[in-house]
Each structure stands twice: as structure tokens, then as C-alpha cells.
A and B are shown apart, each in its own frame.
Chain A
Amino acid sequence: MIEIDRLTKRYGATLVVEDVSFNVEEGTLTVVVGTSGAGKSTLLRMINRLVEPSAGRVLIDGEDTRTIPEDELRHRIGYVIQGYGLFPHRNVADNIATVPRLLRWDRKRIAQRVEELLDLFQLDPAEFAHKFPHELSGGQQQRVGVARALAARPALLLMDEPFGALDAVIRSKAQDDLIAIQRRLGATIVLVTHDMNEAFHLGDRIAVMDQARLLQYATPAELLMRPADDFVERLVGTVERPFRLLSLTPVREALEAGHAEGEPIAASESLHDALSRLLWTGRKALPVADSSGAIIGRVSVDKILQHGRPLP
């Protein structure tokens, strides 16, 4: 568990981060979201001490980060930034091997780990290991950046606008890949973004920051239904709210008994997707299938619409 405890950063008279506290559970993905200049990057950089806090502390599994030598701390925390900062003079394999080399892993173990990560990120080792960063597409560079950050199995992964340099199509694929990898590795991730859609898409919990302060730290659904103040409500987007809520709810939640015609939809998909399918096909209901493909009931437009508003 990562405990952020009353973190404050002051540059002269300017408060950049003011008294921010929240806990990140192991194996979850927390998104810090806010407008630019809200202090979210500074908050992130205080976790691996690229920025020294003016006050407050960070505990990783109960251990105060100030008691760990800076470089050693950073070997244990993965770090991905916008633009990735890949080393242009080193090939993909050498880039990924950066932290294992700093930790003096033996050659064979490093080679194994690099191959494993390239496979995990769907980059064929034979093709990509010896390429240089400028020979890669934006999406491939992004994957190498994340692979490099994960190389030494860090306890925590910090990501600062990791999808900011990607175009829309590649970005949503990269986001889905990140979720898949996070689930698979059980990694703990803190990710900074200014994009609310990204926050809702990725976050198990979302921390909303504005003007150096933490306004609300909650699950996406709570944020939609019980915004802490007007700013959060506006940031969440009043018009988009019902659709975001539907995106967060699986079909399973609106399951009802009965029969329906048409192609079945998986119980794990979102109500947003189910509604979209219903609108497009002009039907009133769809059959619902479980993971084995067996029909377990149906989902109807009326039932879906009930989920698109806050609970009474």
C-alpha cells in the first residue's frame, strides 16, 4: 500500500501541492486528474523524490521513502513520462535493461527479462530488440517506455501523461493494453492525466486536483453520483455523466429473466456498449451470455436507462 500523507510542496511563496493525503491499495490503478498547473505532476514526482516535499511524507508498505537512498528508491519505482525519454543511443533491449543493469543483475537474467517483456508488450524480440528508438512508431515507443519501467519488477509504477503523445486511435488501444497488463501483473499504478475520459476509462480510483489541493478521491461511480463540489461536477461533465455511469456498469448488473432475439452480448461488457447496440439495431432487448457463451437472460433498454441516473 502507498500512503501519501499530508504532502506539501512550496516554491518560495507559491504552493504547488498543498496538504494532499490519500492511500493507494496494492494492485490498483489510481488516476490523478486535474487541469494543467494543478500540481499533479509535482505530486507524482514527490513519490519518487524527483521533487523533495516541503512537508509530509510517503510510505510504501509502511516504509518512509525518506529513509531510503534516492537512487535505490527509484530503482524500486517504475517511471514513465510523456515522450518516454527513451535513450536514443541505445537499442530497445538496452533501454529495457537499464534498471536491471543498475541493479547488477547477471547477463542471462537480464536477457530473459527483456525477452519476457517484449513478448508481454507484443513486440517480437527478433525484430525489435536491436532496433533504435527512432526506428519505432509512437505506439511502439510507448510500449518500450512502459516495458523499461517494469523491467526490475517495481513495487509501484508512476506514469505522467503516458499517452499524451499518441493519436486517438492508438491511445485507446494503449489504454486497453495497460489495463490488461495491470490486471495480469497485479501492478500498483499511479497515473497522472488531464483527460477525464482517460481517468474514467483507467482508474480504479480517481484523485481530482485543482490549484494545489486534492478536491476528491473516490471511485469513478462515486465521483459521478456524489461530486464533492461544483468544480468536480463541471470537470466530470454534466452532459456526459449518464453515459460515463453506463460505461462503468457491467451488463450483469441490469440482467433480467426472459428471452430476446439477436446476437448475445457478454455479461462483462458495459451497459454503454449494450445501449449502443440496442440503439443501432432498433431492438428493445438483447440476450446476455456468460463467459462460456451460455445465454443467462436478457438486458432491456428500460432497465439500462434506470442505471443512467443517480440512485435515489
Chain B
Amino acid sequence: MVPPRPALSFDHLGFVIAVLIGIALFAAPFATYRATRIASGEARLVIEALPFSMAAALALVALGVALGAVLARDPLGRLGSAVIGLAVLLPSLGLSAGYLTPADNNFARVSPSLGFWLLSLSFSLLAVDALARMRLGPFGRLAALAVGASALALLLLSGIWDDLSILKEYDTRADSFWREARQHLLLAFGSLAAACLFGIPLGVASHRLRTLRTAVMQSLSIVQTVPSIALFGLLMAPLGAVAASVPLAAALGIRGIGAAPAFFALFLYALLPIVANTVAGLNQVPAAVVDAARGMGMSARQRLLGVEMPLALPVILAGIRIVLVQNLGLATVAALIGGGGFGAFVFQGIGQTAIDLVLLGALPTVALSFGASVVLDALVDLSKGTTPA
């Protein structure tokens, strides 16, 4: 007989989360204050970073979440306490910025510090773990993502964070931020689309022809092992030569540096997962199904489009998911050769030792990768649809 599960019990992940919350509240600085954007920072504990009543409220809520994380079993309750934690934590960061910045001072900067990051990590971990325990279907996960994204957008639009250093960096660069955002997405999604257009047919051909498969897989594996910066460098010379000798190419913006080599490198990196997953997806289509399709007089095209591709789709989508997450990250490096994207802020920030500027490039990249992987995971599940797992 299974003993009835108590409503309260000791949870191991919850214990780790509680320890993190304890460190964040009492041992780590909540925010960093700097007199100017490149001055060295001064750490502020929670109690120093917020008015006393706010600090006390935040500490109480965080301790409550820690207690819930260790003892509560019901995933809905765990999710609820994580959401309450985040709902108190995120605005309080904005309040802290206003509280720490002296009046009429445009040079001082307040940025989140270890304590804030640990708290948001703990709460998010608890929320994600609770969502995983709830075993949401694909639509449920998409809905959760939409709620999270809307909450984030609301925080940004409400102006509560406007005193934060990273938003001050954004403020002075709003135009270039959206330009680089568009460039980043163009690089990541454009090279993905090109890789699909080229890679899926190549995968189909490789599945049919064993000799082609070996050659394609090996060359793409070699490409995959070349470090990204080296690949950008390797592409400069040939693309430069193309631009010099073909006027049309130059008119289309193909040059040795800039977006063209970045796009091409991302495309090359994207090919291996796409081709490999197309081949793997087609390989796992049961032989009896293909034999039956042939035996009933389906033409090669009817078999491919009507039977083989639909059955290979979940595996191909899994490949696309890998590529998209990989591309969103790698596109950052494109800035090194003048390709633009969020990487432009990262490398400028590193050059100026302005950490806030680095974050302005890095945080949207992380958010995009996270969102893309949730959306594509849901799509993979949906494409499996009626076929057994």
C-alpha cells in the first residue's frame, strides 16, 4: 500500500533554493552603485539598497518563498509562491535604483548585483521546476511563456525600471538598439531559413545516397569544429574576392567583412544539425510503411511529401530548435567582423569596461534563446501529434 503523501515534506531542490535565498539576502550585495558609468562600483546590501520598510518586506517575502520551496508539495502552490517572489523582487530593483541615485544626478549608475541575480535565479528556478512538475502540454507551456513575456514587457513599459543603469544605457541608444535587434534576428532567422532551404533537400538526398551522406556528414562535421571567429576570418578572403570580381555581389552587400560573412558562417554552422536530423528523421520512418506506400503505387514524390516527411518532421524540428538557439547565441559574435546584432553592445561594453552595456547586448540574447527554445519544443510536441511517442 502506498502511504498517503503528506502536504508538507522535505524537498531537496527546495533546500538548495532556500540556501541561495539566504545567501542573497544576508551575504551578497543587492545592487551596485557607481558614481559614473565606468567608475568602480560600491556594493549595497538589501538593507542599504532599499528603504527599511521595503527591505523588510522583500526579506519577509523571500524567506516565505524559501520556506515554501523546502516544505510545500503542491506544484501550484510552489508556482504561486515563486510568482509572488518575482512580483515583489523585480519592481523593488527599480525602487532601489531610484532610492540610491542622488536627486538630479545624471551620472550615477545603479545596477543589479549578485544578491538580486541569486534571488531572481532562485525564484525562476522554483517557477520552472513547478511548471515542469505540472507536466504542461505544448499549449500550456506556450501560454506560460506568453504570460512571462507580457509581465516582462509590462515592467519595462511601466517605467519602474527607468532608473536602472541598463535602461539608462538603452535610453541613450534606443535607435541603435532596435536596429541591432533587427539585424540580430535577421542574421539568426535568415541563416536558419537559408539552412532549411538548402539543408533539408540535401538531407533527403543524403538519405537516399549512401556515398553522398558520408561525404556531406564528414565535411559538415569539420565545419562544426572550426571556432566561430576563425570561420568568420576564413570567409573574409573568399567573400572579399567575390565582391571585388562580381559587381552584382558587391551591390547586394556581399563583402569580406560585415553581415555577409557572418550570415554565411551561421548558415554553415546550421547545416549540420539540419542535414543530420533530416537524415535521422527519414531513417526512423518504419521500413514497412515505406514498402506499403510503394506497393500501393505512391510515386517517389507522393511517398516523400505524404509519408516520409510528415513522419520525419518531429526530428527535423528538433534540429531546427538546436540551430535557432545556437544561431541566436552565435550571432552575437558576428559583431566582431562588423556584422552588427546585439553583439555590437557586448563588444563595445567590453571595450569601455561598461558592464551595463554588455548586459544590454547579452540579456536580450538570452531571453530570445530561451523563448525560441520553449516555442520550438512546443512545436516538436505538436508535430508528434497523433503518432505514438
Contact = CB atoms under 8 A, between A and B. Distances in A.
Interface of A: 48, 50, 70-75, 79, 81-89, 91, 98-99, 102, 132, 134, 145, 148-149, 158
B296 A75 contact: yes
A49 to B, nearest CB: 10
Interface stretch (B113-121, B269-277, B297-305, B325-333): B297-305
A89 B297 contact: no
B298 A71 contact: yes
Given A81-B288, A102-B302, A74 B295 contact: yes
Contacts of B286: 83, 85, 88
Most chain B C-beta atoms within 10 Å of own C-beta, residue among A50, A81, A99: A81
A83 B286 CA distance: 10
Contacts of A134: 387-388
Nearest to B300: A71
A89 B296 contact: no
Contacts of B388: 88, 134
B98 interface: no
A85 B298 CA distance: 13
A84 B288 contact: yes
B294 interface: yes
B58 to A, nearest CB: 52
B297 A74 contact: yes
A83 B386 contact: no
Given A81-B292, A82-B288, A89 B298 contact: no
A99 B386 CA distance: 22
Contacts, number: 71
Given A75-B297, A81-B288, A89-B385, 12 more contacts: A48-B295, A71-B299, A74-B294, A84-B288, A85-B286, A85-B293, A87-B289, A87-B293, A88-B289, A89-B311, A89-B386, A98-B296
Given A73-B297, A75-B296, A102-B296, A85 B288 contact: yes
B299 to A, nearest CB: 5
Interface residues of B, number: 21
B75 interface: no
A87 B285 CA distance: 10
Contact of B295 (A72, A81, A86, A89): A81
Contacts of B297: 70-75, 99, 102
A88 B311 contact: yes
A88 B312 CA distance: 12
Contacts of B296: 74-75, 79, 98-99, 102, 148-149
Contacts of A88: 286, 289, 311, 386-388
B22 interface: no
Most chain A C-beta atoms within 10 Å of own C-beta, residue among B286, B295, B385, B388: B295
B280 interface: no
A99 B297 CA distance: 8
Nearest to B289: A85
Contacts of A132: 386-387
Contacts of A73: 297
Contacts of A86: 289, 292
Contact of B310 (A79, A84, A89, A148): A89
B307 interface: yes
B313 to A, nearest CB: 9
Contacts of A149: 296
Nearest to A70: B297
Contacts of A79: 292, 295-296
Contacts of B387: 88-89, 132, 134
Nearest to B302: A102
A74 B288 CA distance: 16
A60 B302 CA distance: 26
20 contacts: A50-B291, A71-B298, A75-B297, A81-B288, A81-B295, A83-B288, A85-B292, A85-B293, A86-B289, A87-B289, A88-B286, A89-B307, A98-B298, A102-B298, A102-B302, A134-B387, A145-B292, A148-B296, A149-B296, A158-B295
A148 B292 CA distance: 10
Contacts of A84: 288, 292
B22 to A, nearest CB: 50
Contacts of A148: 296
Most chain A C-beta atoms within 10 Å of own C-beta, residue among B292, B310, B385, B388: B292
Contacts of B385: 89
Most chain A C-beta atoms within 10 Å of own C-beta, residue among B286, B293, B296, B311: B296
